[in-house]
Amino acid sequence: MEKLIQALPKTELHLHIEGTLEPSLMLELSRKHKVNLPYTNVEEIQKAYNFEDLQSFLDLYYLGASVLVDEDDFYQLMWQYLLKCKEQNIVHTEIMFDPQTHTLRGITFETFMTGFTRAIEDAKQQWGQSSLLIMSFLRHLSEQEAIDTLNAAKPFLKHIKIVGLDSSELGNPPEKFATVFKQAKDLGLLCVAHAGEEGPAEYIWQALNLLHVDRIDHGVRSSEDPKLIETLVKLKMPLTVCPLSNTKLCVFDDMKQHNILDLLNQDVLVTVNSDDPSYFGGYLNENYLALHEALGLTQDQLIAIVKNGFTGSFLPAKDKQYWL
């Protein structure tokens, strides 16, 4: 099984680039820019990664991201992840970034976009890596700040075809962002949103009906609403499920309790993704392997989910057909 997981050409559709910051690079950059962190070595960082919920993770994730300052930092971050894609046979990836995590610290769009796109171009040239960028709004901030971010991104839309919504879900429902998502749609952008990770099924309904998303990030709490499951199946709406993330953030107490195979059995278009691999203890292949070990994921189920990744991607139809 491990060999098949490695050998299959795969997609990754739910990955926060800031969540790929490895402890070693974090320490290196904190020294480079004299950013004070409450850690002095890799072991201390790893020991701190014991989360009880989404917010306890986000606090350390934003702290970690504070070491990213100049263009080369953003290049290195992206380059390390793209090398991981090559290593794990991820032939197509759709990568989220959080502009507001950086602009609020005075880092310009120019700085991170130049670093990101240079790494993406190098990987494309060197081994044909296929990548798309998803610009994600931070939902704990106001809708006006998301609108300002969309406006600031306008000179870079050649490189951004998709917007998303992430950060603290509870108390920040999709409806708060209906206007900015409408503006993004009017600019011709595709839309995704985190919904039903910690939040209720109602937030998934809102993402569908008020934000008109093309894909749902997480969505595991859809299983609480049979009518919603029926709708997701009818719409062939992809869910980007992140198993190791869900157990690390206590969405499920144990991988044995994870509902991804129940959703698959009900014909929901589920995909497997790593979310924030450096914080959650594994990249994409480790997520598949964890499902095999805890839930007995079979070869047929593995292949079905990997195919869902291509179906649920934003690749052009001819590229999807090629991989399927």
Q: Which residues are catalytic?
A: 197
Name beta bridge partners: 138.
166
Tokens of 164: 């998303």
Cβ 243 to Zn ion shortest distance, Å: 12
If one asks whether residue 166 binds ligand ES4 (CB under 6 A), the answer comes out as yes
Please check if 212 is assigned to a binding site. Answer: no
In the complex with ligand ES4, the residue whose CB is nearer, 245 or 308, is 245
Please check if 262 is assigned to a binding site. Answer: no
In the complex with ligand ES4, the residue whose CB is nearer, 91 or 153, is 153
In the complex with Zn ion, the residue whose CB is nearer, 22 or 275, is 275
DSSP string, 171-189: T--GGGGHHHHHHHHHTT-
Please check if 276 is assigned to a binding site. Answer: yes
Cβ 210 to ligand ES4 shortest distance, Å: 19
Q: Is the CB of residue 33 less than 8 Å from the CB of residue 69? A: yes
If one asks whether residue 73 binds ligand ES4 (CB under 6 A), the answer comes out as no
Which residue in 16, 84, 102, 221 binds ligand ES4 (CB under 6 A)?
A: 16
If one asks whether residue 167 binds ligand ES4 (CB under 6 A), the answer comes out as yes
Tokens of 210: 């008020």
Phi-psi region of 135 (alpha: psi -120 to 50; beta: other; left: phi over 0): beta
Residue type, 140: H
Q: Hunting for tokens 């107490």 — which residue is that?
A: 253
Phi-psi region of 317 (alpha: psi -120 to 50; beta: other; left: phi over 0): alpha
If one asks whether residue 275 binds ligand ES4 (CB under 6 A), the answer comes out as yes
Order of strands across the sheet that contains 269-272: 10-16, 90-97, 130-138, 162-166, 190-195, 215-218, 238-241, 269-272
167 secondary structure, DSSP code? S
If one asks whether residue 94 binds ligand ES4 (CB under 6 A), the answer comes out as no
For residues 275-304, which are near Zn ion according to CB under 5 A?
275
Q: Which does 100 bind (CB under 5 to 8 A by kind): Zn ion, ligand ES4, none?
A: none
How far, in Å, CA of 281 to CA of 46, rounded?
A: 9
Site string for ligand ES4, 214-233 (x = CB under 6 A): --------------------
If one asks whether residue 276 binds ligand ES4 (CB under 6 A), the answer comes out as yes
Cβ 255 to ligand ES4 shortest distance, Å: 16
Q: Is the CB of residue 117 less than 8 Å from the CB of residue 159? A: yes
How far, in Å, CA of 117 to CA of 43, rounded?
A: 32
Which residue in 12, 22, 94, 197 binds ligand ES4 (CB under 6 A)?
A: 197
If one asks whether residue 176 binds ligand ES4 (CB under 6 A), the answer comes out as no
Which residue in 130, 206, 245, 273 binds ligand ES4 (CB under 6 A)?
A: 245
Q: Which does 79 bind (CB under 5 to 8 A by kind): Zn ion, ligand ES4, none?
A: none
Q: Which does 74 bind (CB under 5 to 8 A by kind): Zn ion, ligand ES4, none?
A: none
Q: Which does 295 bind (CB under 5 to 8 A by kind): ligand ES4, Zn ion, none?
A: none
User: Which stretches within 130-259 are classed as H helix?
Assistant: 143-152, 178-186, 201-209, 226-235, 243-248
Nearest to 137 by CA among 107, 106, 179: 179
Which residue in 5, 54, 163, 228 binds ligand ES4 (CB under 6 A)?
A: 54
Nearest to 270 by CA among 320, 197, 220, 202: 220
Contacting positions for ligand ES4 (CB under 6 A): 16, 19, 54, 61, 166-167, 194, 197, 245, 275-276
Contacting positions for Zn ion (CB under 5 A): 275
**Residues of each annotated binding site for substrate:** 276
**Residues of each annotated binding site for Zn(2+):** 14, 16, 194, 275
